[in-house]
Amino acid sequence: MSMDKTFDAAAAEARIAAQWERTGAFAAGANARPGAPAFSVVIPPPNVTGSLHIGHALNNTLQDILVRWHRMRGHDVLWQPGQDHAGIATQMVVERKMAAEGKPPRKDWKREDFTAEIWKWKQESGGTIIGQLKRLGASLDWDRNAFTMSGAPGAPAGEEGNFHDAVIRVFVDLYDKGLIYRGKRLVNWDPHFETAISDLEVENREVPGHMWHFKYPLAGAETYEYVERDADGNVTLRETRDYIAIATTRPETMLGDGAVAVHPDDARYAPIIGKLVEIPVGPKEHRRLIPIITDEYPDPHFGSGAVKITGAHDFNDYGVAQRNGIPLYALMDGKARMRSDGLSYEESAMIAGQIARGEREAGDVSQINLVPEDLRGLDRYEARKAVIDQINAEGLAVWYLHKEIDKETGAEHLERRPLVDAKPIMQPFGDRSGVVIEPMLTDQWFVDTAKIVQPAIDAVREGRTRIIPEQHEKVYFHWLENIEPWTISRQLWWGHQIPVWYGPKLHDGADRTKLRFSDIVDAKGQQFCGPSWNEVSEAARQYYGPNVQIDETQHGHEGVLPGFPPSALPGAGGGGFGNDDTLRRVRIERDPDVLDTWFSSGLWPIGTLGWPEQTDELKRYFPTDTLITGFDIIFFWVARMMMMQLAVVDQVPFRNVYVHGLVRDEKGAKMSKSKGNVIDPLDLIDEYGADALRFTLASMAAQGRDPKLGPKHVEANRNFVTKIWNAVRFAEMNGVFPGAPTRPDPQHTVNRWIMGETARVRLALDEALEAYRFNDAALSLYGFVWGKLCDWYVELAKPLFDGDHAAETRATMAWVIEQAITMLHPVMPFVTEEIWALTGTRGKMLVHGDWPEYGAELIDEAADRQMNWVIGLIESVRSARAQMGVPAAARLDLIVTEADEAARAALAANGPLIERLARVNAPRDGAAGRGMIAVAAPGASFALPIGDVIDAGAESARLEKALGKADKDAQGLRARLSNPRFAQNAEPEVIEETRARLAELDEDIARIRAALQQLKAL
């Protein structure tokens, strides 16, 4: 079949992708040679709700390059596909879908019925990104597609995997080892979804905000001398105060303050350290007192230097409270409304006051509700307004005099106003819900990461796992060496339900043969952890003894005392208690929470390979070889996978971690919907083809740099695809492809040179890919294919097609083109697969083609020197012609003013090529004279007579104008680089680009000046 005039990317991509899939081209082990080493990669699992974005495109392109390269080398390759169940995102999508369909809200459903709706949605719509990855050309083993909820209770047909079993087994194992526990800590709380979320699910945005300034009066109307000094110690303010001033962006949280903190070195407040101050809000008769403490956290140079400490609603305050034993008073419910539960405000304020005065231990303060009765049940923002109004009404804001001038009379008016600073603030939002996140003190499940972190640190320090580039090791080590307990529970329905049940806790001396109601010390205090109800019920029977019936209940049944069915209560009859109050029956209740998706995805490498079963795949492909991921999830995912796999199977999950940058727009700005600069990779594929997008992304993937992408870059590489196609069509039209190419042994210098260039790029390509220098690999291919093959060799070969070397030239061109598309295939799989099929009789597809292994033995140094000399001369002549404005059609004399033996030999052997490509007449010896310009080559000098073919005056004027512009631009860049503020504030890559641009301008200036000198000499 002959080649079409143009490459139809859309038609070819769909056809080729279907053929790859139909023939099982991507199956694990496909194209593997006997005894070949394994190479395995696990895809960072995209969310089941996801669509392909430009970050996915970069990440999967880089993975696919490595995978295709290893597969063509005959290695035993597995690229494991799969998706994450994405608890919060998926639950949100399905809840919105149900609302749009007029179905009741989630809480009106039974849990199992709601999750059945999610499974239904997953089977109908959850595979979108799979099809999009196939469009990109990702060569994953799609028959092995994994899902982090496969095998979970209620999973429909087709979802029978064992990933759920693996997740639950790991939880139970870590629980039994004391590495997982339940406790109360501060977490990111999403009030819309009413669940804890991870830091990665929090989006910090700069928004307009306010800072309110309030006075906290000293108890008993005490006073102190407040003194401010300048940097030299001079007094700038001295006054007597009966308060300490604080500033806050969230006045509603003042109700939960446990202290006011100042820095220990802040002399302004030294007289009042340890004193009590009054929180300026709440019923006056129950106004609460809190202590003034010292801590390193407050900044004496920011605001008043005094910070209110609300440990239950601020992460920094939480740390201060923990260090100083300050109680944590929770103010809000799961919807971020002010609490309505717990003790009355009067009783709560009384107990909190006793704690502040040291009259009682804090203990469990969860029942203390310090929200005044009139504020209970209000939304947090409604409560904020009420708190501000109450403080202002009592005159306890910090006030200032506001001056206004009457425009008509010029009279000055002074007005006393509360001090409120309007300023931008960083505020955390849920990335799914879009609501402001509230730090909340809640009961959650945690992994005691401090106990499992060291092996993950040691593995990287000892080189068992490499992080590339090394600069990212700092992020990895910093996070692990300062690790906090990992919150792994989420208050959702979609996910792996926590395998823990709660029942009545018995006192230590209880007689299991005859339990009584009085033996119970906590109705819900005994935990039972197991992989299923069978194991849990057996553990419960062992705990309660042989005479107690064990029942299970789901969370949230109304009217049932936790731990007991109604019939179990004393005097209720029905066999729960006998007349002697013997306990005969208890009901244990499963924890309603689910596991954080990062917990399950932390098991991704072993879970996708069949663990806990000792499968052949697990033995063959684990540990995996390379993980390719973005820098933003080094600690969210990479570090956690390291900890989890080492804790569970005592092996690293991967040997290499390659960390790529963030794809930005062409100006270097982060892409966001609000900026309108998001680039959809599918649009780029539709417009320019997958190969052009892939090559662009690879060429920009410099280590430690963020790619800057615009459509123009992809368009340029679509032109590269076209260049390749046209070169192959030229070869086809000249009878280059009679059959499958074989490696020739040419004699002509041109053919020996191009074979050496082919060997050079093969060596450079393998070296770059081994080192994860994807941009170097792409640029090496570009320089060879476009520069050496398409531009030079095609032109140099044209006259050889009709001479004594015609047969060897056709054979050489066929082989070189085959090698070029073979080496291009990992980066540009579609166009190369198409060319492969059209240019010879093949026994297999190019996806399974043999990767070349030749090297330096194909390099003919003599041919290399001669052809590089010839090409250098042609380029010099072309450059001189262009610089001087010589008309393209003009054929110039080439005067040899000086030449050594090697130069003369090169001229003699390649004269016709030089004449044709440089548009010059046959070289002849002579001397330089007026009207000529000089051109140099190694070992030779030449003169080009141009005086009669150009207007020297006009060309001089043109070059002077170009010189002026280049000089001006260079001066601007030098000024920028010499500006200390630019050096201090600009991104390193911006500074580097500016220096590179200046170097280019300096080269241009030198060339222009040299050309002007030659023009003056004409």
Model pLDDT, residue 561: 37
pLDDT band at 343 (very low <50, low <70, confident <90, very high): very high
Q: What Å distances lie between residue 755 and 724, 802, 822, 871, CA to CA?
A: 18, 20, 15, 16
Listed residue (887, 874, 864, 876) closest to 946, CA to CA? 887
One-letter amino acid of 310: T
469-511 pLDDT, tens digit per residue, is: 999 999 999 999 999 999 999 999 999 999 999 999 999 989 9
- Residues 487 and 477: their CA atoms lie apart, in Å, by 20
Judge whether 927 and 868 are in contact, CB under 8 Å: no
Quick one: which of 249, 280, 274 has its CA closest to 261? 274
CA distance 885 to 882: 5
Token couple for 872: 């250098």
User: Which residue did the predictor score with more confidence, 626 or 635?
Assistant: 626
Q: Is 675 annotated as a binding residue?
A: no
What CATH number labels 206-425? Answer: 3.90.740.10
User: Is residue 468 a contact partner of residue 659, using CB atoms and an 8 Å limit?
Assistant: yes
pLDDT band at residue 564, thresholds of 50, 70 and 90? very low
Beta-carbon contacts of 723 under 8 Å, excluding residues fewer than 6 positions away, are 785, 786, 790
Query: Which helix H or strand E contains 412, and what residues bound it?
Result: strand 412-418
Query: What is the pLDDT confidence band of residue 217, given thresholds at 50, 70 and 90?
Result: very high
User: What are the tokens at 381?
Assistant: 């923002």
* CA pair distance 708, 965, nearest whole angstrom: 27
Quote the CA–CA distance of 282 and 348 in Å, as a whole number. Answer: 12
Pairing verdict, β 486-487 and 438-447: antiparallel
pLDDT of residue 554: 60
Tell me the C-alpha distance between 563 and 522, whole Å.
9
Residue predicted with more confidence, 564 or 840: 840
Buried b (16+ CB within 10 A) or exposed e, 468-491: bbeebbebbbebbeebeebbbbbb
Name the residue among 296, 297, 257, 263 with its Cα closest to residue 277.
Answer: 257
Is residue 451 within 8 Å of residue 413, measured between CB atoms? no
C-alpha–C-alpha distance, residues 923 and 870, integer Å:
13
What pLDDT sits at residue 685?
97
SS3 55: helix
- Which H or E element spans position 553? strand 549-553
| Domain extent listing, the chain | 206-425, 507-588, 708-839, 870-1016
Structure-token pair, residue 283 = 């019923």
**Looking at residues 100-110, what average pLDDT do you find?**
93
CA distance linking residue 108 with residue 730, whole number of Å: 69
Interstrand relation of 520-529 and 500-506 (parallel, antiparallel or unpaired):
antiparallel
**What are the distances in angstroms from CA 992 to CA 607, 706, 966, 983?**
43, 13, 19, 10
Residue 570 has pLDDT above 70, yes or no: no
Instruction: Give the model's pLDDT for residue 579.
Output: 52
Report whether 588 contacts 550 (CB < 8 A): yes
Give the separation between CA 650 and CA 644, rounded to whole angstroms. Answer: 9
Short-list 241, 239, 237, CA closest to 221: 241
Distance CA 271, CA 292 (A): 11
The whole-angstrom separation of Cα 338 and Cα 256 is 11
Residue owning tokens 């939880």: 171
Q: What is the pLDDT of residues 587-600, one digit of tens each?
A: 999 999 999 999 99
Rg of the chain taking only CA atoms, in angstroms: 38
CATH architecture of 708-839: Orthogonal Bundle (1.10)
Model pLDDT, residue 383: 97
Paired tokens of 667: 């100006």
Q: At 409, is the secondary structure helix, strand, or coil?
A: coil
Backbone angles phi, psi at 748, to 5 degrees: -70, 145
How confident is residue 574, by pLDDT bands cut at 50, 70 and 90? very low
List the structure tokens of 417.
């106003």
CB contact at 8 A, 302 and 249? no
Q: SS3 for 211?
A: strand
At 531-550, the pLDDT tens digits run 999 999 999 999 999 999 99
pLDDT more than 70, % of the chain:
97
Instruction: Evaluate whether 437 touches 197 at the Cβ level (below 8 Å).
Output: yes
Nearest to 290 by CA among 240, 219, 361, 362: 219
Please tell me the predicted confidence (pLDDT) of residue 1004.
Answer: 81
Q: How confident is the model at residue 636 (pLDDT cuts 50, 70, 90)?
A: confident
The string of pLDDT tens digits covering residues 644-690 is: 999 999 999 999 999 999 999 888 888 887 788 999 999 999 999 99
Confidence class for position 809, pLDDT limits 50, 70, 90 = very high
Tell me if residue 437 falls in helix, strand or coil.
Answer: coil
d(CA 336, CA 355): 26
Q: Model pTM? A: 0.86
For the chain, what is the mean pLDDT? 92
Residues 115-124 have pLDDT tens digits of 999 999 999 8
pLDDT bracket for residue 948 (50, 70, 90) = confident
Assigned token pair, 956: 């001089």
